[in-house]
Structure formats: C-alpha cells, structure tokens
Amino acid sequence: MKIKSGASSPTVPELDARVRRSKEAVLTVTHQMMSETGLSGVSIDEVSKRSGVAKTTIYRHWPSRADLLLEACSKLGGKTEAPDTGSFRGDIELLVKEFASRLRMAPAAKILPSIVDAAEHDAKIAKLLHAQVHAGIMAPLYEVIERARTKGEVSRDQNASHLIAHIAGPLVFRRWFSGEPLDETFIHAIVENAILAEQTVRRR
Amino acid sequence: MKIKSGASSPTVPELDARVRRSKEAVLTVTHQMMSETGLSGVSIDEVSKRSGVAKTTIYRHWPSRADLLLEACSKLGGKTEAPDTGSFRGDIELLVKEFASRLRMAPAAKILPSIVDAAEHDAKIAKLLHAQVHAGIMAPLYEVIERARTKGEVSRDQNASHLIAHIAGPLVFRRWFSGEPLDETFIHAIVENAILAEQTVRRR
C-alpha cells in the first residue's frame, strides 16, 4: 500500500525533528532517574510517564530497557576538552582539578557506581563501561600525555596507562570508597606524584 | 507468668547456639545473594527461603532489610593481617599483591560496587562504607605505614592517607573502572611509586 504525502501530513524533516526531540526527552529523563536512584531504579513505565513519550515509541527506538540504559550511559563520558597550557604540569593540574570538580558535583558521579555495579553482572555493560565511558572520560589525559611525549616533555618509556591510573585512581578511591575530601592538598599531591613518576622514568 | 525450665526444653547455652547458627546461616545466604545480584537483588523472602530461617526470626534479629544488609556489608572488610617482612618495601609489596588478588577473586569485589552505589543514595550505608568497610580493608596498610614511621623507614612528613590513595586507588581504578588487568607489571609500578613518593617526601 502506498501512502501519498498530503498537505497536512508532516514532511520528512519535520518528522526527523520530532523523532529527535522525543529521543532527547527520553534520554534526559533516563539520566535524571539514573542519578536519583541508580540504574536499577529506571523503568520504562516511569520514563514514559515523566517524558510524555509513549512506551511504544520508546520501544521503537530502544528494543529493550537495557538498550536504553546503554545509550544513556554512553553519553556520560568524554565532554572534557584536552587543555593546552604550554606545559605538562599545567595540563595535568587543570585536568585533575576538572576531574575532582566533576566527581564532587556532576550528576554522572552519582550514576557511575550503578554502572560499575551493573557491569559486574552484565558483560555488555562491562564492555560499554571499559571501552566507552572510561575511554571517553580519560581521553583528554591520554591526549595531554601523548602531546607531552611528542614535545619531549614526557619520556617514551612512560607507560601512559600506569600514569593515568596513578592520577585518576586516587580521585576515584576517595570519592567512592574512603569518602575523604578531594581538597586542594590532595589535588596537589596527585599532580606532584605524576610529575615525580615521569621524572623517575626519565632518570632511569 | 513464670515458665519453669523442664527437662525437654533447651537450656540457655543451647538456645544461644541455635540463635548463633540461624544468624550465621542468614548472613551467609545474604552474602551469596549480594555477590550474585548486588545489594538491590537481596530480598528477605528469598533469604528466608534459601537459609531455611523463618522470616519472623530474621526480623527478630534485624528489624529491617536495611539492618540485615548493613550487618552483612560490615563483615566485608578487615580480614587481612598486616605483614611484617622486615622492610617497608616488602610489606607494601605483599599488601598490594594481596589486594590485587582479592580484587580479582574475592566475592567481596563483586559486592562492593553495589555498596558504593547504595551509598550514593543512603547516608547510613555511606557511613558504613567509609568508616567501617574502607577503614577495615585499609587497616593493614595504615599499620604498615605507622610501623615504618616508628622505625624511621618512612618520614613523619608523609601523609599516610595520600600514600594509601596512591597505592589502593590505581588498583580500584583498573578493577572497577578501566577493566585493565591487575598484572605483575602494574603491581610493580604501584610499589615503585609508593617507595618513590616516600623518598621524595624525605628529600624535601
């Protein structure tokens, strides 16, 4: 059966815009619910109710609740630009401050533990967490280290992934595990440690 | 009303032993369920079914599900003894290996993320996580650092909590966030970093 597009029917660009708007509304509500209750508290019923988007429409875009959660989670990382202050120390300092501030304030900091928890029981979510969320959030750190290497500020022998674990690890540890503050003294200690580690690799 | 203890009634020590056994059975099953599904998957119904302990008995020991979860979680930390190899480096090396192995294998490693997640939404669980679980697991590290200070192996200027975040943080970061392996090279890098950080504090 062929349907002729009449004057009162929406055009293709209008339809596209509508689809985009409803998808955005669903993702925004999903994010809100994730930060309120964690992943386990998100139900399609409630997302539909709050976003005003029909359940049938939601299921047309995301075949299952897991697919919606995966897409919502995939938007969590990778919004920080790699800084370029002119020095490795300056760049690291800015990034550690930025991460600390996001860990203290951003809704994502409340959501991530429920993704980490879900990853323990679901291989798809684990893959998304490691390959997409982690890689996205850490991308500016990798970029800053790579640039410093090209400029000769950081030794080629420095293992970028080890260095990053020593920069981001202590922040993550305090925010989610010990509950101690991400204060100025602590941020300073992390930056000093990163510079020190790099100098030692160089001296070997 | 007074009840005379007859020959067939259980004596007080027997009753105590029964109570202890049923509490242990409930806590064991709760642990199992926590590692299978995370905190959110634990229901009193299911705990009662699997442990064979009546719901009324469970509620007599733990007035609410939250109380049971709190006690089960509080048993997660603090089983590692502080080693005494004769040197700070040797002690740290043993502890990092021990932590890495527990993070790779122990059921607690599967449970902790759901406690971290729950702590985001529940102040009681947050307090338990920070003050009890974290403090219990990190106790041997604090003990080893304190002993090294007394012996003069570690400077009094070294901030123990900063040092611990640089030892445990990278492990936690890889295990729960980046998904990279806790391999020999990585463990070695963490130990070297800890020794280096200490030497630098000393040289200042």
DSSP category for residue A64: S
Residue-wise pLDDT tens digits, A111-130:
888 889 889 888 988 998 99
The chain B residue lying nearest A130, using CA atoms, is B178
Label residue B1 by pLDDT band (50, 70, 90): very low
- B46 to chain A, closest Cα gap in Å: 18
DSSP category for residue A80: P
DSSP category for residue B176: I
Asked whether the CA dihedral B42, A66, B173, A187 is positive or negative, the reply is negative
Residue-wise pLDDT tens digits, B10-53:
677 777 888 899 999 999 999 888 888 878 788 999 999 999 99
DSSP category for residue A121: T
Contact A51, A25 (CB under 8 A): yes
Task: Confirm whether the ipTM is greater than 0.90.
Answer: no
- From CA B184, how far away is CA B159, in angstroms rounded? 26
Contact B69, B124 (CB under 8 A): no
For residue B114, list chain A residues with Cβ-Cβ distance below 8 A: 117, 120
What average pLDDT score do residues B117-145 get? 90
For residue B43, list chain A residues with Cβ-Cβ distance below 8 A: none
For residue A126, list chain B residues with Cβ-Cβ distance below 8 A: 179
Question: What integer pLDDT is reported at residue B9 of this predicted model?
Answer: 66
On whether any CB of chain B is under 8 Å from the CB of A66, the answer is: no
Residues B179, A130: C-beta atoms closer than 8 Å: yes
Compare CB distances from B113 to A113, A165, A192 and report the shortest one's residue.
A113
